[in-house]
A and B are shown apart, each in its own frame.
Chain A
Amino acid sequence: MKTPAEAAARWRRWRHGWDVVVILVDRDLKALYKRSILGIGWAVAAPLLQLLVFSLVFHRVLAVQVDNYTSFAFCGLLVWSWFQSALSQSTGLITSSQALVRQPGFPLALLPFVTVGVRFIHYAIALPILFVFMAVQGIRPGIAWLALPVVAAVQFVLTTGLAYPLAALNVRLRDTQHVVFVVLQLLMFLTPIFYSVESVPAKYRPWFDLNPMTVLLDAWRGVLLHNHWPAAGPLTLLGLIAVLLVWVGERLFVSQSYRFVDEL
């Protein structure tokens, strides 16, 4: 049993953690777009430019056949960008936050949440553009949209769970950030962003299904574009794996965090 004093201390810790996450997200958003004309508008402009080039290549040149291609591709692109930018940024998180690492009592384990959160906000800001594309292509919101928070939560937790070990490892081995960069680049083409997973030859298909981003993209598109409830089995499994990853990752991260000052 916990004493009331311990419970109060725990409550204060959680509240402080929440305060810190909010203020750091705010700091990152402010600092990211200081002295920039377009500012947070880049959250919209960057994926639009990508969409322009990639849809030209995949849709016009390679003639990928999918209904409502613009909405399909843009949905995939946004979801993927959130994952990719959050993961590549959190890998370098500790090495680029030396001041916070040296701050006595600073709860370092909150940092991955901050990065994944900042990137989620970028994603959320670009979403209305997707809704415009969808409206133009005649797609209407439906009851299955109620599942969106769940899908977003699974992706949030999964990304954070992957971020912990990568950020910790990168302190020891700076090779990590280069490996992550390359792997994410390659994974982008192995994830059905600009093509449909249905068009993958059957003998490769099981490998594609192992990619958690395939599962997540399928869920996002099912809900947003087709008003389908996500398949409960794969998403639940992925959710459990994600929670496990955060649980193990956070412990690993905290146990390693004593070495960060030594090694930075």
Chain B
Amino acid sequence: MSHATVQLDHVWKKFRRGQLHDSLRDLIPAVAKKLIGRGPKADELQQGDFWALHDVSFEVKAGEALGIIGRNGAGKSTILKVLTRILRPTRGRVQLTGRVGSLIEVSAGFHPDLTGRENVMLQGSIMGMRPAEIVRKFDEIVGFSGIAEFIDTPVKRYSSGMNARLGFSIAAHLDPEVLIIDEVLAVGDLAFQQRAFGRIAEMVRRDIPVVIVSHQLERVASLCTRAILMEHGRAIYDGGVTDTITMYVQRASQQDTETLAAASDCPVRIGSLNVTTGNNYESGTTASYEIRVETLTPVRQEIEPLQVAVRDMQSGTLVFITSASGLGVDIRQPGARTLNGTLQLNLPPGTYLLETQVTDNYNHRAIAVGPEAVLNVVPGRHFRGQVQLNAELALAPAGDGVRLDAAG
């Protein structure tokens, strides 16, 4: 039985778009204003500010696994950062007690010049294990990660997948009283993902309160007992996991464009995404959709005004990405437009999310995320594997048959 508490009590968090003052020249006037009492109050919105969290409250009890779902920029990760005290809420109270196992940026603390072995000691200790405990669990940790043969190699020679696997393995052997997970199930190969998933499911069964942020709706559905849907920093729905996911799916296509925190402004508004051929498809058939886009100001070359992508909801990975520019459609000049598109769903059966966003070509990051739609792919002609290749196979006309042993 765990005595941990996980609680957010009317939490608000203010973010600012773009940069804070970076040099003395900007800072001095700001400080001076604050000193003479004319400065802005810390907990009110100024120009360029927005609420990344807007009055969010919840409590997770022992034996409960809470999933937090929502689009990019809806405030999911901010909840975790506030919960783990990396960020302080602008208003409200946060309670988190007990030994916290957090699967967030699990390999970020690795030192590139040190070996895997040295980093296990380092990271394990940072996460709260005693040195003797790490030594005791060392073989188990390395075995779980599946990278035993590289354990004495400096971490800088690891692939990002190996990094993530080792990081996850350390965190997974922490024996936490509270577990906080951010999208880590999307690392490593399928076998490792299954192992990681099993490990988390086991912790949930041990009555540990768990908070999971994920794009992998199917994973959330199978791990969580309850889920919260985030939209624009607000928790708009809190209930049973199936209900919340249904709600998310229904609302996804009606969402307005949301500019993300790091970008100061966005030249394009993606108004709506309508899949005109419904939600259910046989593998290999074609979905048609309509997107309304409004370009507000001329779009610079380094920005892609419309990216369309398909995300596999089980693995959380993007299986297909394309863009207006890539498909030869120029929407860089101001104006309101309607676009018609199709996608041939040569995909194995599963649930997929059709996502729209405005992207910075430079680092492939989203500047703003637009509406989304869910596509269910059901089995069509039989196949197994990752891609539907529209295989054809037929019998040759009678009489042309040649006996194999008679050939040559």
Contacts and interface: CB of A to CB of B under 8 A. Distances in A.
Interface of A: 15-16, 19-20, 23-24, 27, 30-31, 34-35, 99-106, 172-175, 258-259, 261-263
Contact of A20 (B22, B85, B108, B125): B125
B109 A31 contact: no
Which of A30, A34, A262 has its CB near the most chain B CB atoms (within 10 A)? A262
A20 B110 CA distance: 14
A57 to B, nearest CB: 36
Nearest to A35: B113
B86 A104 contact: yes
B108 A103 contact: yes
Q: Is the interface of A mostly helix, strand, loop or mixed?
A: helix
Interface in B138-166: 154
B109 A100 contact: yes
Nearest to B20: A263
Interface size class of B (residues with CB under 8 A): 20 to 34
Nearest to A5: B3
A15 B131 CA distance: 11
Contact of B87 (A30, A100, A174, A261): A261
B108 A23 contact: no
B84 A105 contact: yes
Nearest to A255: B88
A216 to B, nearest CB: 31
Interface string B80-120: 01001111100000000000101011001111011000100
A258 B24 CA distance: 21
B180 interface: yes
A128 to B, nearest CB: 28
Interface of B: 20, 22-24, 27, 81, 84-88, 100, 102, 104-105, 108-111, 113-114, 118, 121-122, 125-128, 130-131, 154, 180
B230 to A, nearest CB: 19
Nearest to B118: A30
Nearest to A107: B126
A105 B102 contact: yes
Contacts of B23: 173, 175
Given A30-B114, A172-B27, A173-B24, A106 B87 contact: no
Contacts of B122: 23-24, 27
Contact of A16 (B105, B110, B128): B128
A27 B180 contact: no
A155 B20 CA distance: 36
B128 to A, nearest CB: 6
B108 A99 contact: yes
B128 A23 contact: no
A172 B118 CA distance: 32
A31 B27 CA distance: 36
B108 A258 contact: no
7 smallest A-B Cβ distances: which pairs? A104-B84, A258-B88, A104-B102, A99-B108, A23-B125, A34-B113, A99-B109
Contacts of A24: 122
B114 A104 contact: no
B141 to A, nearest CB: 16
B126 A103 contact: yes
A117 to B, nearest CB: 15
Nearest to A9: B97
